[in-house]
A and B are shown apart, each in its own frame.
Chain A
Amino acid sequence: MQIVLNGENHEVDGEPVLARVLADAGLPERGVAVAVDGEVVPRRSWGEHRIADGARVEVLTAVQGG
């Protein structure tokens, strides 16, 4: 299935569980936050949160600003 990960189409193979999708995409675990379809998914739920086909997943971190 396909999701939109940080604005780009992203193919998900196997179980569409958030923690696995993030790890497979090579994203860091610390210092990041994840929203799926505009809702924050707390870190403690990443292990069981299943992503639907076509979901918009945003992974944000701190950058220089302000």
Chain B
Amino acid sequence: MSERADTPLIIGDEKFDSRLIMGTGGAANLEILERALVASGTELTTVALRRVDVTGGTGLLDLLRRLGIRILPNTAGCRTAAEAVLTARMAREALETDLVKLEVVADERTLLPDPVELLDAAEQLVDDGFTVLPYTNDDPVLSRKLEQAGCAAVMPLGSPIGTGLGIRNPHNIEMIVAEAGVPVVLDAGIGTASEAALAMELGCDAVLLATAVTRAADPERMATAMRRGVEAGWAARHAGRIPRRYWAHASSPEPDPG
């Protein structure tokens, strides 16, 4: 068994037994969200920051407190480093956490990260004492630079947010994993459980997903599937898989001589 097989996930000063981070986005209501969060076994969940709706109440925060799930605020919707830094500071003030999922996207159509603004924001937030988890492109060079800037993890996308297209460039994810000295969290693009398992088999330390569960026909059941997919992929990664071979290799003994 590999040394890392049953170790908890550590991001900054935080320790997690679950390697599935499930976001709260996309659930039709809080009851469906609650059932999905519980089924996923997640210990960390994302929220976004938006203007207070006086009639809306604070049901989401009450729910997360009741379930004992830690909160990872995001900077979704930010297009520039300045916007993301302000949003992160607002999140720290509102939610009393230094954790931030840093998202700085380039445009609405792709929701792909803007690498220049992302790195700039990451540097400012690290300097300001945040534990920064950047949502990044599946780019080994950018991931390395984010780590050098002091990010507590790197979170490369499998494919664009909400597409469910899975992991389009597994080799890039493997290269990020091979070089990273911080946890690698596969973030965005997961559509089904086999893709969550693949992320872990490629060597990721965790998977972050929301839409794949919250917009599934049966979110609670899909959350269970994702939990098992992540667990299976992690176990397989550290169980030492057999090498791929070109020709068949019998698993039964040679036939007896005639």
CB of A6 to closest CB in B, whole Å? 4
How many of B's residues come within 8 Å of A, CB to CB?
A: 36
User: Are A65 and B25 interface neighbours, CB within 8 A?
Assistant: yes
CB of B196 to closest CB in A, whole Å? 17
Choose among A6, A25, A42, A64 the residue with the greatest number of B CB atoms under 10 Å from its CB: A64
Give complex CA distance A31, B73 in Å: 12
Say which residue of B33, B76, B95 sits within 8 Å of A31 (CB atoms): B95
User: Are B27 and A25 interface neighbours, CB within 8 A?
Assistant: no
Give complex CA distance A66, B47 in Å: 6
A19-56: CB near B (< 8 Å → 1, else 0) gives 00000011110111111001010110000000000000
B51 contacts across to A, CB distance below 8 A: 6-7, 58-61
Q: Which 7 A-B pairs have the closest CB atoms?
A: A65-B48, A66-B46, A33-B93, A33-B94, A62-B47, A66-B74, A33-B90
Give complex CA distance A65, B211 in Å: 10
Looking at the complex, which of B7-15, B54-62, B178-186 is the stretch in contact with chain A? Answer: B54-62
Binding site for B on A (CB under 8 A): 6-7, 25-28, 30-35, 38, 40, 42-43, 58-66
B60 contacts across to A, CB distance below 8 A: 62-64
Say which residue of A28, A34, A62 sits within 8 Å of B71 (CB atoms): A62
Give complex CA distance A59, B90 in Å: 9
CB of B104 to closest CB in A, whole Å? 14
- Verify if B118 is at the interface (C-beta below 8 Å from A): no
User: Are A40 and B86 interface neighbours, CB within 8 A?
Assistant: yes
B26 contacts across to A, CB distance below 8 A: 64
